Structures are given as C-alpha cells and as structure tokens.
Structure 1
C-alpha cells in the first residue's frame, strides 16, 4: 500500500513537471535545471545531469545535487556510458562503475559515482544527449527509478525542441541587439553625416557628423522636417515632390548617389555628395542619407573647369570654350533668326613687337588689346582668344554687314592710343562674316578668318577691315 502510494506520488510529480515543461518559457539552461532538480528529488539520487553531444564529447550542461559543481565537464563519447547511450539510443544501466567496462572509471571516481542509469534525449528524432541519475552507492537504483527516468526523459525530449528553439530565439535576439548597437555606434561616429527620415521627411536619425556639418544638435534635429533644417529655402516648396519621388523609389530597396546643394543652420550654402539608401522596413519606407561636404572640391573643380575653358593670359574664353559658345549661338540663330556676326581679329606686327621688346611686353600688348576690345562690346557679345595674336568677337542680334562694320570701326578707334607707359601702338586686321543659315560653326569661323586675311593684305601698320564675300 505504501509502495503504491509512493508510486502514485512520483507519477503525480512527473505529470506536474511535464505540464511545467510544456508551458514553460524558460531559457534552455533553466529548462534543463528544472528537470534535473525534479529527477534527483524523485529518485533520491546523489545527483542528476543533462549531458548534450558536442562533437566527440559529452558535455555536462545542467546538474543537480553534488554533481552540480561539475557543470561544463567534457567526456569523450567513446569512453562513457552516456556516449554509448546516445549511439545505441537505448536506456542503459550501470550497477557498479568499478566493474563495468562500459564506463569511464576515472571520471566516475572524480564525481564520486558508483552506479547510474541514463536515457537518451531526442530532438526531432535524433539523439542529442542523455538524462542521467547517479548514486554514490553500488546498485543505487531499482526498476521504479528506471521507469521514472524513462518518463522524465520522454517529457524532456518532447519539450526539448521547443526549448532549444526558444533558447535559439533568445540568442538570435541578443545577437540582433548587439548588432544593432554596433551599427548605431558605427553610424554615430562615422565621418559622414548620417541622416534618416521617414516618408514624411521627419528626421529619425542625426549623428555627430551631422551636428558638425549642419550646426543642428541631435536633440534639435530629431522629430523635425528635414526641409526646415538643410534644404535651401528656394527648394523647400518642391521638396514634397522629391519625397513623393523617393516614395516611388522605395517600392523596392535601392541606392542612389547625388550631388546636392544644402544649407547649414546659419544659411551658409554647402555642396554635399549624398548616398541615399531607400529601404522598406516592415512596410514602412525609410530613407538614410550618407553625406559629406564637397564644397572645396566643387570650388577646385570649378577652378579647373575655368582653367580648361579660359585663356590663362587674358582671362578670355579660349578656343575650346568659344566653339561651344558658337555652336549654341548658331542653334539660337536657326531657331530665332535674330542675326549673328563674327569678327576675326589679328594683331598687326605682333611678331616684331615680341622680337624687339621681348615676350613680357608682347604679353602686355595682348592683355591690353583684350581689355580695349572688350570695352567696345555689348553685354551679350563674346570675345575669345583663339591662340597667339588671334581673337574673335561673336555679336548676336547683328543681321547686316553695316552694323558689324560699326562695331569693327569702334574697335579700330579704341586702338588709337599707345600701350600705357610706352610708345608702342597697336593695330588690327578684322575680318567680318554674317551668318548664312547653311553654314556650320567651323565654316562660319573659316569665312571670318578668310576675310581677316583679305584685310591683312591691304594693311601695313594700320588697322584694316574686310568682309567675307562668297
């Protein structure tokens, strides 16, 4: 009667533990600890242990009683009863560790064990470890203990997958949190300004480089519309359209690189290079921009571009720049037919000036010539130095030769005075061409050049003007 009552009480505890296991949201270590504590109590063992397979080893993962001090112990599977239990997938019993060749006798002495029973633990049909009870006495367990172990092992195995998954979920969540923290730290201290906004333009991220670049602190910027912070006032009304465009881009994650104009909190304009990432996060679009100031680079590029298109001595457009201007003017002429005249000029006797007075004086002559002719021009006229002592003037809105000749005579008149500080006089030969709709830019320039040589044939030290005649 007493035995039946004890068996009934043991069964009730097993059922109670099974229920706890089925409902528990514990991490794996706490989960296994519940099992070994209950098992030790039910079998009155020295201790209970959960061993899990780790390659060629069996590892004590959770333990109770005096065995708990050995958590982390690693035993070779090949030399242990636990390893044999896993490989055979059967319950194994050892009544005396000193005489049973299947056990690791040295390990048993280390933990003070003489007898044990172990049952395999299955996860998705595969043995992944054992549940084991141990006694410091030989023959320390009976059939009831074996049944108890078997029932507890089955309960643990049935819930092990759930708890392993729960433990894996916690591990992944911890990794994600650590990864997010690392990313936040990297972005916070990045050299680039890193700014995130939602699809309404509200700032959700503003790192330290953003504070340095734009002058707004993170606390000031967060929650405000990006247009109020860094978008130039002239563009703020159209920024809604830009967001709409970004929203369309956000239908799929994408990346775009742009050079944009921005302003800091003091209204200073900045050229920034922006790498924009558009991401769909849980159905919500987020835009993250990585920005760095390229104002100095843009200034240098503008300087280089000006150098590439300008004559270094006179500051006038060079041949390359002038041909671009000429092509554009011809396009306008073909569309509007307002008239177009081209004056090709060559300094008379320039070689003699160079040879007699030196190149420095020759350079001063070229600069003074450019200055005086430029002073004769209207705002929409263009003067350029083609090279050497050859210059051109493009006059838009001039339809007839007589009007072009008026400009040419004005240029001749301005050369009446000598070079400042010297007695050197300047004179020029000017060839004029009025644009013919059939001509292209190269032909138009050649016609004016031909007229200039015609003028030069009739000139000595005096200025001369000639017109191109087909």
Structure 2
C-alpha cells in the first residue's frame, strides 16, 4: 500500500489509474474542456460514484462545465453559489463531504432531491492560488464515500489544476476561455453550448419567441483521415468550423460538440421554414471546394433541425429531435463516415 499525500492509504491499483490518467491528460494538451470531461469520467470510475461534475465559479453562479454519469444531462446548469456545497467549497478552499443531504444544512436539499442525490464529495480546484471551481462526485445512497475516495479525488483534482496552469498561466479570464472553447477550432465547446442553450430556451419560453437548434455532422471525415492522414482531417474540421461560423448571425451560437459534430442555436427565428433555410445555406457553403496541400477534399455536413415551440420547449427533447433528424438526413444522402 502507498499513502496519498496528506491523506489515508490508497491501493496500488487506484494509484496506477491516477498515473495513467496523468498520461492521458498530457496527450490532451491545451484542450482544457476535454481535460475536465476526461477527469469527471475518471473520478466517477475511481470512486464508484453515480456521477461526477466539474463546476466553475462564474460570478454568483456555479456552472457545470463538465459532467458524467447521472449528471451528464445537466451540463451547462447554473446554481446559486451562496446556497450550495460547491460554493462553500470555493469560499473555504477545503474538501467537503456530505453523507446525507437530508440532514446537512450546507446543501440545497430540494436541488439534491430533484437530482436524486443523497451523498457527495466536493474538492476545490485551484488556479493561481485562487479556488476557481470544484470537482464533485455524487451518489443516491447515504454515506456512499470513504476517506479513500476523498484521497483519490484530491489527487485527481490536482491533475485538473495542473492542466489549468498549463492552459492559462497568467490570467483567470484566459482559463474560462480555455475551459469553454474547443482547442482545435476556437468555437464554443459542448459545455458552453449547453449553457447557452439552457439560457436561450428559458428566454424564448418567457418571451414566447422562436428558437432553432441545429445538429450538424460532417460527412466523410473517416475517409479523409484514412486517405490523407489526420492532419488533413484536422484541416477539414477547422475549415468546416470556419464556414459554419462565417454563415452565422451575431446572435447565433455555433459550437463544436464532438469529434466531427457541430451544433447551432438560432434565436428569434420565424418557425421551421426559417430554420431549414439556415440549414440549407450552411450545407451549401460547407460543400464549396476545399484544398489541403494541393489535394482537393470534399467537405459536407448532414443537418438536423428542431424548433421551439413547434417541437416542444424541453432542451433535452429539442437536442434529441435535432439529432434524430440529422441521422435521417445522413441516410437520405447515403453518406458513409
């Protein structure tokens, strides 16, 4: 057995997994959003939690910037900083454990009930000697976590802190930019997309306005990688991102939400016909000729559309509908890869 610094003993298997995680994080480089998502998944696995989340302190809110397991669909959620265990963790800079949310006055009991949570560990994330967020694991059972889980989470949180330092050495504002934007394309990442979509849906519902959600999947990225190499694949992703962004309005959000997947939020549209017109224009613009190192490469996207309020007012439902519509479009184009 080996000791974790300042804490109880950890078994060799757990320490080995943390060392492996450090190597995997190094390969992610300056993609801080990717690092946070990876660490949330690894923290969930190492502690046997039902879910894990990285929350960043932004103004008066704690914002879910990475999430896995049971809380994965809460990405982009904002909670009041002054009434949560996460906010208290940021204020004190100390690791906090809740064994039962029903009798712990530090937690938002109603929020825990809605999420089906009873116990959690919250670990501070520090950047430039300031606590800027937390790494949190959660479970539906009472007293689900041990002192060993606290030690493991403390080591894992240190990996995020190191990635934060290397991604943003001098400015906390740069840290948030790195955490919310895709390293390859510079577009908003999945976490920021969900954050903005939650706010856009709420605003559209309150104002009885229209909102479009587009899911865009690149056509044929795998054949590009196989034939020309991953440098060409990365160039194709970046060019697709540029073309999507160039054909967006200032009020729109265009994001890279996966390897070859993009998404858009279209506020204030006038119904499905309007959203489909945007979809058609972007499809045409992305498909224009492109060359990489003298080689002509075919670019294309398959696009799915969902519209509020015609398709409902639930954020997750709109995303699912746009995703299904995208796969219908891809099958209709008989696209491979």
Q: Give TM-score scaled by structure 1 length.
A: 0.35
The structure with the largest alpha-carbon Rg is 1
Q: How does the TM-score come out when normalised to structure 2?
A: 0.48
